[in-house]
Structure formats: structure tokens, C-alpha cells
Amino acid sequence: MQRQLNAIVAIAARDITKLFRDRIRLVFSFVFPLIFIGILGQSLQANVGGSLGFNLLAFTFIGVLAQSLFQSTASGIISLVSDRESDFAQEIFVSPISRYTIVFGKILGESLVSFILIIGIIIMANLSSQQSAQQVFPFVLSL
């Protein structure tokens, strides 16, 4: 049982390490949701939200968060195929652990990656002033 838990943690940690090494994925994971929330959400709220009496900005924000969670988790499971091409998956699949352990480790790892990205989006979407946004965005873009 301990071997299975160690394998799950190792596979999950590998996915988190891959996230922080992929600077382009980090930037686009923060920029695209903010564009959708800022442009789509604001325009929907300005054009339709007042007449409907519904906060479409919050609706768009929740939809973007759900889409980010789904996309990140799905890409993690799909990455098993790309790992197979780089011989990493073959090394995992011949190890003395269950295939279910491998899949659970990938799911856990990409779920943690999604959680990290969602926390980042929530922090950025809750910036209270333009000055704080000007201090945060150059840092994100320099990653």
C-alpha cells in the first residue's frame, strides 16, 4: 500500500513540476481566462445584464473557471499518450505498481495543477485597483 501511495505522489508531483517548467502554459492559463472574463463578461453585463437583472459577469467567471478545470484535467490524462512517445509512460507501466495507481496519480496531479491555476485566476480577478493590477501583470508575463 505504501508503494502505491508513493507512486501516486511521485506522479502527481511530476505534473506540478511540468506546470512550473512550462512558462508558456502558465502565461496562457492566466491570460485567456482573464480576457474572457474581462471582455466577454463585461460586454455581456453591460449589454444584457441590466435588462435581465442577472449578474452575467459572475456567470462568465464561473464558466471560465469550470472550463479551465476541465481543460487542465483532460490535458493531463491525454498527456499519458505523449508520455508514451517519450518513453516515460513505458517506464511507468512496467513498474511494479497498478495501472489504476498511475491513472489516479495523473488525475490527482492534474487536479492539483488545475487548483493552482484556478487560485491564480481568482486572485488576479479580485484585484481591487488598477495600481495593483499593474504590479501583478508584468510579473505574470515575465514567467
Q: pLDDT digit string (tens) for 58-69?
A: 788 888 888 888
Q: Are 76 and 129 in contact (CB under 8 A)?
A: no
pLDDT at residue 116, as a whole number: 85
In 22-55, which ranges are continuous DSSP H helix?
23-35, 42-44, 50-52
Q: Are 114 and 72 in contact (CB under 8 A)?
A: yes
pLDDT at residue 22, as a whole number: 84
pLDDT at residue 13, as a whole number: 92
pLDDT at residue 9, as a whole number: 92
pLDDT at residue 128, as a whole number: 58
Half-sphere exposure of 55 (CA within 13 A, CB side): 5
Rounded mean pLDDT, 32-43: 78
Q: Which of 67, 81, 80, 79 is nearest to 114 (CA)?
A: 67
pTM surpassing 0.75?
Answer: no
